[in-house]
Chains A and B, each alone.
Chain A
Protein backbone atom coordinates (compact mmCIF):
# COMPACT_ATOMS: atom_id res chain seq x y z
CA UNK A 1 0.00 0.00 0.00
CA UNK A 2 2.88 2.36 0.66
CA UNK A 3 3.64 1.74 -3.00
CA UNK A 4 0.13 2.74 -4.02
CA UNK A 5 -0.22 5.85 -1.91
CA UNK A 6 3.21 7.37 -2.22
CA UNK A 7 3.72 10.84 -0.85
CA UNK A 8 3.45 12.32 -4.36
CA UNK A 9 0.02 10.79 -4.99
CA UNK A 10 -1.36 11.95 -1.66
CA UNK A 11 0.15 15.40 -2.20
CA UNK A 12 -1.51 15.84 -5.60
CA UNK A 13 -4.80 14.39 -4.29
CA UNK A 14 -4.95 16.73 -1.32
CA UNK A 15 -3.56 19.75 -3.21
CA UNK A 16 -4.35 19.31 -6.90
CA UNK A 17 -2.41 21.67 -9.17
CA UNK A 18 -4.84 22.47 -11.93
CA UNK A 19 -8.29 21.68 -10.62
CA UNK A 20 -11.04 23.82 -12.12
CA UNK A 21 -12.47 24.85 -15.49
CA UNK A 22 -11.23 27.14 -18.27
CA UNK A 23 -13.44 29.90 -19.68
CA UNK A 24 -14.19 29.08 -23.31
CA UNK A 25 -11.74 26.20 -23.65
CA UNK A 26 -10.68 25.18 -27.15
CA UNK A 27 -11.14 21.57 -26.20
CA UNK A 28 -13.18 20.03 -23.40
CA UNK A 29 -13.68 16.36 -22.85
CA UNK A 30 -15.14 14.18 -20.13
CA UNK A 31 -14.76 10.46 -19.56
CA UNK A 32 -16.17 8.08 -16.98
CA UNK A 33 -15.03 4.86 -15.48
CA UNK A 34 -18.33 2.98 -15.23
CA UNK A 35 -16.76 0.42 -12.93
CA UNK A 36 -16.26 2.85 -10.08
CA UNK A 37 -18.10 6.00 -11.09
CA UNK A 38 -14.90 8.03 -11.42
CA UNK A 39 -15.26 11.07 -13.68
CA UNK A 40 -12.63 13.34 -15.17
CA UNK A 41 -13.11 16.42 -17.37
CA UNK A 42 -10.15 18.14 -19.00
CA UNK A 43 -10.29 21.62 -20.54
CA UNK A 44 -7.51 22.72 -22.88
CA UNK A 45 -6.40 26.04 -24.36
CA UNK A 46 -4.55 25.58 -27.65
CA UNK A 47 -2.56 28.24 -29.47
CA UNK A 48 -0.54 27.56 -32.63
CA UNK A 49 -0.61 23.82 -32.04
CA UNK A 50 0.65 24.11 -28.48
CA UNK A 51 -1.31 23.35 -25.32
CA UNK A 52 -0.99 26.61 -23.43
CA UNK A 53 -3.32 25.92 -20.51
CA UNK A 54 -5.11 22.95 -18.98
CA UNK A 55 -7.53 22.35 -16.15
CA UNK A 56 -9.19 19.22 -14.84
CA UNK A 57 -12.35 18.64 -12.90
CA UNK A 58 -14.17 15.57 -11.65
CA UNK A 59 -14.37 13.20 -8.79
CA UNK A 60 -12.86 9.88 -8.05
CA UNK A 61 -10.24 8.05 -6.08
CA UNK A 62 -6.82 9.39 -5.12
CA UNK A 63 -5.18 7.59 -8.05
CA UNK A 64 -7.44 9.03 -10.77
CA UNK A 65 -7.49 12.55 -9.37
CA UNK A 66 -3.75 12.72 -8.64
CA UNK A 67 -3.03 11.34 -12.12
CA UNK A 68 -5.25 14.06 -13.62
CA UNK A 69 -3.41 16.69 -11.62
CA UNK A 70 0.00 15.45 -12.73
CA UNK A 71 -1.03 14.90 -16.35
CA UNK A 72 -2.53 18.36 -16.82
CA UNK A 73 0.60 19.85 -15.25
CA UNK A 74 2.78 17.83 -17.60
CA UNK A 75 1.07 18.72 -20.90
CA UNK A 76 1.05 22.51 -20.58
CA UNK A 77 3.58 23.78 -23.10
CA UNK A 78 3.48 20.53 -25.06
CA UNK A 79 2.67 20.44 -28.81
CA UNK A 80 -0.71 18.82 -29.50
CA UNK A 81 0.90 16.19 -31.73
CA UNK A 82 3.23 15.17 -28.92
CA UNK A 83 0.37 15.05 -26.39
CA UNK A 84 -1.57 12.80 -28.76
CA UNK A 85 1.27 10.29 -28.53
CA UNK A 86 1.53 10.48 -24.73
CA UNK A 87 1.65 6.80 -23.76
CA UNK A 88 0.39 4.66 -20.94
CA UNK A 89 4.00 3.96 -19.95
CA UNK A 90 4.77 7.67 -19.80
CA UNK A 91 1.78 8.23 -17.55
CA UNK A 92 2.74 5.41 -15.20
CA UNK A 93 6.29 6.77 -15.05
CA UNK A 94 4.89 10.21 -14.33
CA UNK A 95 2.79 9.10 -11.39
CA UNK A 96 5.49 6.71 -10.26
CA UNK A 97 3.41 3.84 -8.91
CA UNK A 98 3.61 0.20 -9.94
CA UNK A 99 0.18 -0.55 -11.38
CA UNK A 100 0.98 -2.78 -14.33
CA UNK A 101 -0.22 -5.85 -12.40
CA UNK A 102 -3.28 -4.16 -10.94
CA UNK A 103 -5.92 -4.33 -13.68
CA UNK A 104 -8.60 -2.53 -11.65
CA UNK A 105 -6.62 0.41 -10.35
CA UNK A 106 -4.75 0.94 -13.62
CA UNK A 107 -8.07 2.02 -15.12
CA UNK A 108 -8.26 4.73 -12.46
CA UNK A 109 -4.79 5.97 -13.36
CA UNK A 110 -5.47 5.91 -17.09
CA UNK A 111 -8.83 7.70 -16.96
CA UNK A 112 -7.26 11.20 -17.30
CA UNK A 113 -5.17 10.00 -20.24
CA UNK A 114 -8.26 8.53 -21.88
CA UNK A 115 -10.01 11.88 -21.36
CA UNK A 116 -7.09 13.81 -22.85
CA UNK A 117 -7.03 11.59 -25.93
CA UNK A 118 -10.79 11.84 -26.38
CA UNK A 119 -10.39 15.63 -26.39
CA UNK A 120 -7.41 15.74 -28.72
CA UNK A 121 -8.68 13.19 -31.23
CA UNK A 122 -12.35 14.14 -30.98
CA UNK A 123 -15.11 12.05 -29.49
CA UNK A 124 -15.18 8.60 -31.02
CA UNK A 125 -11.84 9.02 -32.74
CA UNK A 126 -9.49 8.41 -29.84
CA UNK A 127 -7.55 5.16 -29.75
CA UNK A 128 -9.54 2.46 -28.01
CA UNK A 129 -8.96 1.42 -24.43
CA UNK A 130 -6.67 -1.43 -25.31
CA UNK A 131 -4.56 0.81 -27.52
CA UNK A 132 -4.10 3.26 -24.69
CA UNK A 133 -3.36 0.54 -22.19
Chain B
Protein backbone atom coordinates (compact mmCIF):
# COMPACT_ATOMS: atom_id res chain seq x y z
CA UNK B 1 0.00 0.00 0.00
CA UNK B 2 1.27 3.47 -0.72
CA UNK B 3 0.16 6.69 0.79
CA UNK B 4 -1.56 7.87 -2.37
CA UNK B 5 -3.98 4.94 -2.62
CA UNK B 6 -5.74 5.70 0.65
CA UNK B 7 -8.20 8.20 1.93
CA UNK B 8 -10.86 8.84 -0.61
CA UNK B 9 -13.46 8.82 2.15
CA UNK B 10 -13.67 12.55 2.53
CA UNK B 11 -11.86 15.67 1.42
CA UNK B 12 -9.01 15.46 3.90
CA UNK B 13 -7.38 18.71 2.77
CA UNK B 14 -10.56 20.67 3.40
CA UNK B 15 -11.14 18.82 6.66
CA UNK B 16 -7.67 19.63 7.96
CA UNK B 17 -8.31 23.31 7.24
CA UNK B 18 -11.15 23.13 9.77
CA UNK B 19 -8.56 22.59 12.51
CA UNK B 20 -6.61 25.86 12.90
CA UNK B 21 -3.99 24.30 15.20
CA UNK B 22 -2.82 21.86 12.54
CA UNK B 23 -1.53 24.72 10.39
CA UNK B 24 1.68 25.40 12.26
CA UNK B 25 5.32 24.43 12.49
CA UNK B 26 6.99 22.83 15.49
CA UNK B 27 10.78 22.83 15.66
CA UNK B 28 10.82 24.04 12.07
CA UNK B 29 8.68 21.14 10.79
CA UNK B 30 4.98 20.95 10.00
CA UNK B 31 3.11 19.70 13.05
CA UNK B 32 2.10 16.04 12.85
CA UNK B 33 -0.31 15.58 15.74
CA UNK B 34 -0.38 11.89 16.65
CA UNK B 35 -1.66 12.15 20.21
CA UNK B 36 -5.43 12.34 19.80
CA UNK B 37 -5.94 9.43 22.19
CA UNK B 38 -4.78 11.81 24.92
CA UNK B 39 -6.80 14.77 23.65
CA UNK B 40 -8.08 15.60 20.19
CA UNK B 41 -7.77 18.89 18.36
CA UNK B 42 -10.82 21.13 17.92
CA UNK B 43 -12.41 22.32 14.70
CA UNK B 44 -12.96 26.04 14.22
CA UNK B 45 -16.73 25.74 14.69
CA UNK B 46 -16.31 24.26 18.18
CA UNK B 47 -13.91 27.04 19.15
CA UNK B 48 -16.31 29.61 17.65
CA UNK B 49 -19.19 28.04 19.56
CA UNK B 50 -17.43 28.63 22.88
CA UNK B 51 -16.72 32.22 21.99
CA UNK B 52 -20.25 32.79 20.72
CA UNK B 53 -21.68 31.75 24.09
CA UNK B 54 -19.44 34.10 26.04
CA UNK B 55 -19.91 36.99 23.62
CA UNK B 56 -23.62 36.71 23.01
CA UNK B 57 -25.64 34.83 25.62
CA UNK B 58 -23.50 34.05 28.67
CA UNK B 59 -25.83 33.49 31.64
CA UNK B 60 -26.44 30.79 34.18
CA UNK B 61 -28.80 28.00 33.20
CA UNK B 62 -32.04 26.80 34.82
CA UNK B 63 -32.34 29.97 36.89
CA UNK B 64 -32.89 33.34 35.30
CA UNK B 65 -36.24 34.51 34.01
CA UNK B 66 -34.68 36.60 31.31
CA UNK B 67 -33.77 36.20 27.66
CA UNK B 68 -30.05 35.40 28.00
CA UNK B 69 -30.58 32.76 30.64
CA UNK B 70 -33.40 31.22 28.65
CA UNK B 71 -31.22 31.11 25.56
CA UNK B 72 -28.32 29.56 27.50
CA UNK B 73 -30.64 26.98 29.06
CA UNK B 74 -32.11 26.13 25.68
CA UNK B 75 -28.67 25.64 24.10
CA UNK B 76 -27.43 23.63 27.08
CA UNK B 77 -30.41 21.28 27.03
CA UNK B 78 -30.31 21.03 23.24
CA UNK B 79 -26.70 19.84 23.57
CA UNK B 80 -27.91 17.15 25.97
CA UNK B 81 -30.35 16.00 23.31
CA UNK B 82 -27.64 15.92 20.65
CA UNK B 83 -25.45 13.76 22.86
CA UNK B 84 -28.37 11.46 23.61
CA UNK B 85 -29.07 10.92 19.90
CA UNK B 86 -25.34 10.47 19.21
CA UNK B 87 -25.18 7.33 21.37
CA UNK B 88 -28.82 6.35 20.75
CA UNK B 89 -29.97 6.84 24.33
CA UNK B 90 -33.68 6.28 24.91
CA UNK B 91 -34.08 9.70 26.46
CA UNK B 92 -31.98 12.79 27.01
CA UNK B 93 -32.77 12.40 30.70
CA UNK B 94 -30.26 9.57 30.64
CA UNK B 95 -27.43 12.01 29.85
CA UNK B 96 -25.59 13.36 32.90
CA UNK B 97 -23.04 16.10 32.19
CA UNK B 98 -19.86 15.65 34.20
CA UNK B 99 -16.28 16.87 33.79
CA UNK B 100 -14.83 13.82 32.06
CA UNK B 101 -14.78 10.02 31.93
CA UNK B 102 -13.01 9.86 35.29
CA UNK B 103 -15.74 11.83 37.02
CA UNK B 104 -18.46 9.77 35.35
CA UNK B 105 -16.96 6.53 36.67
CA UNK B 106 -16.38 7.99 40.12
CA UNK B 107 -20.02 9.09 40.16
CA UNK B 108 -21.20 5.51 39.56
CA UNK B 109 -18.74 4.10 42.10
CA UNK B 110 -19.77 6.60 44.77
CA UNK B 111 -23.49 6.63 44.13
CA UNK B 112 -24.49 3.22 42.80
CA UNK B 113 -21.51 1.43 44.34
CA UNK B 114 -21.84 2.69 47.90
CA UNK B 115 -25.61 2.09 47.86
CA UNK B 116 -25.50 -1.41 46.40
CA UNK B 117 -22.27 -3.24 47.14
CA UNK B 118 -21.61 -5.24 50.28
CA UNK B 119 -18.69 -7.20 51.62
CA UNK B 120 -17.96 -10.17 49.41
CA UNK B 121 -19.65 -8.73 46.30
CA UNK B 122 -17.41 -8.75 43.29
CA UNK B 123 -16.50 -6.27 40.57
CA UNK B 124 -15.07 -7.62 37.33
CA UNK B 125 -12.53 -5.48 35.46
CA UNK B 126 -9.75 -6.27 33.01
CA UNK B 127 -6.00 -5.80 33.30
CA UNK B 128 -6.04 -3.35 30.37
CA UNK B 129 -8.12 -0.73 32.19
CA UNK B 130 -7.06 2.91 32.33
CA UNK B 131 -6.48 4.07 35.91
CA UNK B 132 -9.78 5.96 35.69
CA UNK B 133 -11.62 2.66 35.40
CA UNK B 134 -9.55 0.96 38.08
CA UNK B 135 -8.76 3.29 40.98
CA UNK B 136 -12.42 4.29 41.67
CA UNK B 137 -13.25 0.58 42.02
CA UNK B 138 -10.26 -0.02 44.29
CA UNK B 139 -11.52 2.82 46.48
CA UNK B 140 -15.05 1.38 46.41
CA UNK B 141 -13.71 -2.06 47.33
CA UNK B 142 -11.86 -0.54 50.28
CA UNK B 143 -15.02 1.22 51.47
CA UNK B 144 -17.38 -1.73 51.08
CA UNK B 145 -15.26 -4.88 51.34
CA UNK B 146 -16.13 -5.83 47.76
CA UNK B 147 -13.54 -7.80 45.80
CA UNK B 148 -11.98 -7.01 42.44
CA UNK B 149 -11.57 -9.63 39.72
CA UNK B 150 -9.67 -9.19 36.47
CA UNK B 151 -10.13 -10.56 32.98
CA UNK B 152 -6.74 -11.57 31.53
CA UNK B 153 -5.44 -10.83 28.02
CA UNK B 154 -3.75 -13.05 25.46
CA UNK B 155 -0.54 -12.51 23.47
CA UNK B 156 -2.33 -10.31 20.95
CA UNK B 157 -3.65 -8.07 23.70
CA UNK B 158 -7.21 -9.36 23.45
CA UNK B 159 -9.43 -10.24 26.39
CA UNK B 160 -9.54 -13.93 27.27
CA UNK B 161 -13.21 -14.75 27.85
CA UNK B 162 -12.85 -18.54 28.14
CA UNK B 163 -13.55 -18.42 31.87
CA UNK B 164 -15.92 -15.47 31.79
CA UNK B 165 -18.94 -17.34 33.11
CA UNK B 166 -16.92 -18.72 36.03
CA UNK B 167 -15.39 -15.31 36.69
CA UNK B 168 -18.85 -13.74 36.71
CA UNK B 169 -19.92 -15.71 39.76
CA UNK B 170 -20.90 -13.31 42.52
CA UNK B 171 -20.16 -10.32 40.29
CA UNK B 172 -22.46 -7.30 40.73
CA UNK B 173 -20.75 -5.02 38.23
CA UNK B 174 -18.55 -5.44 35.18
CA UNK B 175 -16.56 -2.30 34.35
CA UNK B 176 -14.70 -2.60 31.10
CA UNK B 177 -13.15 -0.41 28.44
CA UNK B 178 -14.60 -0.63 24.94
CA UNK B 179 -11.23 0.25 23.42
CA UNK B 180 -7.87 0.09 25.17
CA UNK B 181 -6.01 3.41 25.20
CA UNK B 182 -2.71 1.52 25.02
CA UNK B 183 -3.31 -1.64 22.97
CA UNK B 184 -6.06 -0.30 20.74
CA UNK B 185 -7.98 -3.53 21.34
CA UNK B 186 -11.73 -3.21 20.81
CA UNK B 187 -13.50 -5.40 23.33
CA UNK B 188 -16.72 -7.31 22.61
CA UNK B 189 -18.78 -5.42 25.17
CA UNK B 190 -22.13 -6.56 23.78
CA UNK B 191 -21.21 -10.20 24.38
CA UNK B 192 -19.80 -9.42 27.82
CA UNK B 193 -22.97 -7.50 28.68
CA UNK B 194 -25.19 -10.40 27.57
CA UNK B 195 -23.33 -12.86 29.76
CA UNK B 196 -23.06 -10.44 32.68
CA UNK B 197 -26.79 -9.72 32.59
CA UNK B 198 -27.45 -13.46 32.69
CA UNK B 199 -26.07 -13.49 36.24
CA UNK B 200 -27.73 -10.19 37.17
CA UNK B 201 -24.60 -8.04 37.00
CA UNK B 202 -24.63 -4.48 35.63
CA UNK B 203 -22.19 -3.37 32.94
CA UNK B 204 -20.32 -0.06 32.84
CA UNK B 205 -18.39 0.70 29.67
CA UNK B 206 -15.46 3.12 29.56
CA UNK B 207 -16.05 4.74 26.19
CA UNK B 208 -13.29 7.36 26.40
CA UNK B 209 -11.44 5.80 23.46
CA UNK B 210 -14.38 4.33 21.54
CA UNK B 211 -17.08 7.00 21.43
CA UNK B 212 -14.82 9.48 19.57
CA UNK B 213 -13.76 6.92 16.99
CA UNK B 214 -16.67 4.64 16.06
CA UNK B 215 -20.43 4.42 16.16
CA UNK B 216 -21.54 3.54 19.70
CA UNK B 217 -25.17 2.59 20.29
CA UNK B 218 -26.02 2.00 23.94
CA UNK B 219 -29.24 0.16 23.10
CA UNK B 220 -27.56 -2.19 20.62
CA UNK B 221 -24.78 -2.90 23.10
CA UNK B 222 -27.41 -3.39 25.82
CA UNK B 223 -25.16 -1.97 28.54
CA UNK B 224 -26.06 -0.08 31.71
CA UNK B 225 -23.58 2.80 31.95
CA UNK B 226 -21.33 4.53 29.42
CA UNK B 227 -18.68 7.11 30.34
CA UNK B 228 -16.82 9.35 27.90
CA UNK B 229 -15.01 12.68 27.59
CA UNK B 230 -15.71 15.63 25.32
CA UNK B 231 -12.12 16.67 24.76
CA UNK B 232 -11.19 13.43 23.00
CA UNK B 233 -13.99 13.88 20.43
CA UNK B 234 -13.28 17.37 19.08
CA UNK B 235 -15.04 19.03 22.03
CA UNK B 236 -13.66 21.17 24.86
CA UNK B 237 -11.98 20.02 28.05
CA UNK B 238 -14.02 20.07 31.25
CA UNK B 239 -17.09 18.37 29.82
CA UNK B 240 -17.83 14.67 29.84
CA UNK B 241 -20.82 12.40 29.87
CA UNK B 242 -22.26 9.68 32.01
CA UNK B 243 -25.05 7.83 30.26
CA UNK B 244 -27.05 5.47 32.44
CA UNK B 245 -30.18 3.43 32.03
CA UNK B 246 -33.02 5.57 33.31
CA UNK B 247 -34.39 2.92 35.67
CA UNK B 248 -30.99 2.57 37.33
CA UNK B 249 -30.21 6.29 37.49
CA UNK B 250 -33.64 6.89 39.06
CA UNK B 251 -32.74 4.64 41.98
CA UNK B 252 -29.28 6.11 42.59
CA UNK B 253 -28.63 8.54 45.47
CA UNK B 254 -26.96 11.91 44.75
CA UNK B 255 -23.20 12.17 44.24
CA UNK B 256 -22.37 15.81 45.05
CA UNK B 257 -24.75 17.98 47.05
CA UNK B 258 -25.52 21.62 46.31
CA UNK B 259 -27.47 23.85 44.00
CA UNK B 260 -29.56 22.48 41.12
CA UNK B 261 -29.70 18.93 42.43
CA UNK B 262 -32.52 19.56 44.92
CA UNK B 263 -36.30 19.81 45.04
CA UNK B 264 -36.93 21.24 48.50
CA UNK B 265 -34.20 22.25 50.94
CA UNK B 266 -34.78 22.57 54.66
CA UNK B 267 -32.27 23.36 57.34
CA UNK B 268 -31.76 19.73 58.27
CA UNK B 269 -32.73 17.80 55.21
CA UNK B 270 -33.59 18.09 51.56
CA UNK B 271 -35.30 16.21 48.80
CA UNK B 272 -33.49 15.64 45.59
CA UNK B 273 -34.21 16.48 41.99
CA UNK B 274 -35.01 13.93 39.32
CA UNK B 275 -32.27 12.73 37.01
CA UNK B 276 -30.19 14.09 35.43
CA UNK B 277 -30.31 17.25 37.60
CA UNK B 278 -29.83 15.11 40.73
CA UNK B 279 -26.25 14.42 39.56
CA UNK B 280 -25.43 17.91 38.32
CA UNK B 281 -24.85 19.94 41.47
CA UNK B 282 -23.63 23.50 40.99
CA UNK B 283 -23.26 25.58 37.87
CA UNK B 284 -22.29 23.21 35.09
CA UNK B 285 -19.73 23.70 32.31
CA UNK B 286 -22.28 25.53 30.16
CA UNK B 287 -20.13 26.74 27.29
CA UNK B 288 -18.35 23.41 27.16
CA UNK B 289 -21.57 21.39 27.08
CA UNK B 290 -22.95 23.52 24.25
CA UNK B 291 -19.67 23.20 22.35
CA UNK B 292 -19.71 19.43 22.89
CA UNK B 293 -23.08 19.46 21.14
CA UNK B 294 -21.41 21.33 18.26
CA UNK B 295 -18.61 18.73 18.18
CA UNK B 296 -21.22 15.97 18.01
CA UNK B 297 -22.87 17.72 15.05
CA UNK B 298 -19.48 18.01 13.36
CA UNK B 299 -18.69 14.31 13.84
CA UNK B 300 -22.13 13.20 12.72
CA UNK B 301 -22.03 15.31 9.57
CA UNK B 302 -18.86 13.46 8.59
CA UNK B 303 -20.24 10.17 9.88
CA UNK B 304 -18.80 7.94 12.59
CA UNK B 305 -18.66 5.02 10.15
CA UNK B 306 -16.48 7.01 7.80
CA UNK B 307 -14.25 8.28 10.61
CA UNK B 308 -13.77 4.71 11.81
CA UNK B 309 -13.01 3.52 8.27
CA UNK B 310 -10.55 6.36 7.73
CA UNK B 311 -8.69 5.52 10.92
CA UNK B 312 -8.69 1.87 10.03
CA UNK B 313 -6.94 2.62 6.74
CA UNK B 314 -4.36 4.74 8.53
CA UNK B 315 -3.93 2.03 11.15
CA UNK B 316 -3.38 -0.66 8.53
CA UNK B 317 -0.81 1.50 6.80
CA UNK B 318 0.93 2.33 10.10
CA UNK B 319 1.07 -1.31 11.27
CA UNK B 320 2.54 -2.29 7.91
CA UNK B 321 5.15 0.45 7.81
CA UNK B 322 6.16 0.07 11.46
CA UNK B 323 7.22 -3.51 10.67
CA UNK B 324 10.07 -1.99 8.67
CA UNK B 325 11.63 -0.49 11.78
CA UNK B 326 14.16 -2.90 13.26
CA UNK B 327 13.81 -3.52 16.98
CA UNK B 328 10.31 -2.07 17.13
CA UNK B 329 7.64 -4.01 18.96
CA UNK B 330 3.95 -3.10 18.76
CA UNK B 331 1.80 -3.99 21.79
CA UNK B 332 -1.73 -5.09 21.06
CA UNK B 333 -3.36 -6.68 18.01
CA UNK B 334 -1.16 -6.79 14.91
CA UNK B 335 -4.09 -6.54 12.49
CA UNK B 336 -6.84 -3.96 12.09
CA UNK B 337 -9.52 -6.47 13.11
CA UNK B 338 -11.43 -5.22 16.19
CA UNK B 339 -8.69 -2.69 16.75
CA UNK B 340 -8.64 1.06 17.17
CA UNK B 341 -5.90 3.33 15.95
CA UNK B 342 -3.82 3.85 19.10
CA UNK B 343 -0.49 2.14 18.45
CA UNK B 344 1.89 1.70 21.39
CA UNK B 345 5.37 0.41 20.82
CA UNK B 346 8.88 0.08 22.18
CA UNK B 347 12.12 0.48 20.28
CA UNK B 348 15.05 -1.67 21.38
CA UNK B 349 17.74 0.31 23.14
CA UNK B 350 15.86 3.61 23.15
CA UNK B 351 13.71 4.66 26.07
CA UNK B 352 10.16 5.72 25.07
CA UNK B 353 10.82 9.25 26.34
CA UNK B 354 13.86 9.54 24.16
CA UNK B 355 11.86 8.23 21.21
CA UNK B 356 9.23 10.90 21.86
CA UNK B 357 11.89 13.61 22.16
CA UNK B 358 13.43 12.65 18.82
CA UNK B 359 9.97 12.61 17.23
CA UNK B 360 9.23 16.02 18.73
CA UNK B 361 12.37 17.39 17.10
CA UNK B 362 10.79 16.30 13.81
CA UNK B 363 7.52 18.08 14.63
CA UNK B 364 5.73 14.83 15.51
CA UNK B 365 3.64 14.86 18.71
CA UNK B 366 3.25 11.46 20.39
CA UNK B 367 2.82 10.38 23.97
CA UNK B 368 5.38 8.42 25.98
CA UNK B 369 4.87 6.89 29.39
CA UNK B 370 2.53 4.38 30.94
CA UNK B 371 -0.58 6.11 29.56
CA UNK B 372 -2.35 5.75 32.93
CA UNK B 373 -2.24 1.97 32.59
CA UNK B 374 0.52 0.88 34.94
CA UNK B 375 -0.84 -2.65 35.59
CA UNK B 376 -0.90 -3.31 31.84
CA UNK B 377 2.70 -2.17 31.46
CA UNK B 378 3.64 -4.31 34.47
CA UNK B 379 2.01 -7.25 32.68
CA UNK B 380 4.42 -6.72 29.77
CA UNK B 381 7.24 -5.97 32.22
CA UNK B 382 8.02 -2.62 30.64
CA UNK B 383 8.02 0.78 32.35
CA UNK B 384 6.65 2.71 29.42
CA UNK B 385 5.76 2.74 25.74
CA UNK B 386 5.61 5.35 23.02
CA UNK B 387 2.13 5.78 21.56
CA UNK B 388 1.06 7.19 18.22
CA UNK B 389 -2.68 7.63 17.87
CA UNK B 390 -4.70 8.76 14.89
CA UNK B 391 -7.91 10.61 14.28
CA UNK B 392 -10.01 11.86 11.39
CA UNK B 393 -7.54 14.62 10.48
CA UNK B 394 -4.43 12.46 10.21
CA UNK B 395 -2.92 11.50 6.86
CA UNK B 396 -0.62 8.73 5.56
CA UNK B 397 2.23 11.23 5.06
CA UNK B 398 2.30 11.59 8.85
CA UNK B 399 2.79 7.83 9.16
CA UNK B 400 5.71 8.12 6.71
CA UNK B 401 7.25 10.88 8.79
CA UNK B 402 6.79 8.83 11.96
CA UNK B 403 8.61 5.88 10.43
CA UNK B 404 11.45 8.07 9.10
CA UNK B 405 11.90 9.69 12.53
CA UNK B 406 11.97 6.27 14.22
CA UNK B 407 14.81 5.25 11.90
CA UNK B 408 16.56 8.43 12.94
CA UNK B 409 16.10 7.60 16.64
CA UNK B 410 17.61 4.17 16.07
CA UNK B 411 20.63 5.70 14.37
CA UNK B 412 21.14 8.25 17.12
CA UNK B 413 21.02 5.74 19.96
CA UNK B 414 22.27 2.70 18.07
Contact = CB atoms under 8 A, between A and B. Distances in A.
Interface of A is mostly: mixed
Interface string B359-382: 011000000111000100100000
Interface string A13-42: 110000000000000000000011111000
A60 B383 contact: yes
B358 interface: yes
20 contacts: A1-B361, A4-B357, A4-B361, A5-B412, A10-B412, A14-B413, A36-B368, A36-B370, A37-B370, A38-B353, A38-B383, A39-B383, A60-B351, A60-B383, A61-B352, A61-B353, A62-B354, A63-B353, A105-B353, A105-B357
A128 to B, nearest CB: 23
Interface in A31-84: 35-39, 59-63, 65
A36 B413 contact: no
Q: 3 tightest A-B contacts by CB?
A: A37-B383, A1-B361, A61-B353
Contacts of B360: 1
Interface of B: 27, 351-354, 357-358, 360-361, 368-370, 374, 377, 383-384, 412-413
**Chain A CB within 10 A, most for which of B27, B353, B383:** B353
**Main SS at interface, chain B:** helix
A44 to B, nearest CB: 24
Given A10-B413, A38-B383, A61 B369 contact: no
Interface in A58-116: 59-63, 65, 105, 108
A124 to B, nearest CB: 23
Given A35-B369, A37-B377, A1 B357 contact: yes
Contacts of A59: 351, 383
A14 B377 CA distance: 24
A75 to B, nearest CB: 24
A61 B351 contact: yes
A3 B352 CA distance: 18
Contacts of B413: 10, 13-14, 62
Contacts of A61: 351-354, 357
Q: Quick one: which of A36, A39, A63, A65 has the most chain B CB within 10 A?
A: A36
A87 B412 CA distance: 30
A13 to B, nearest CB: 8
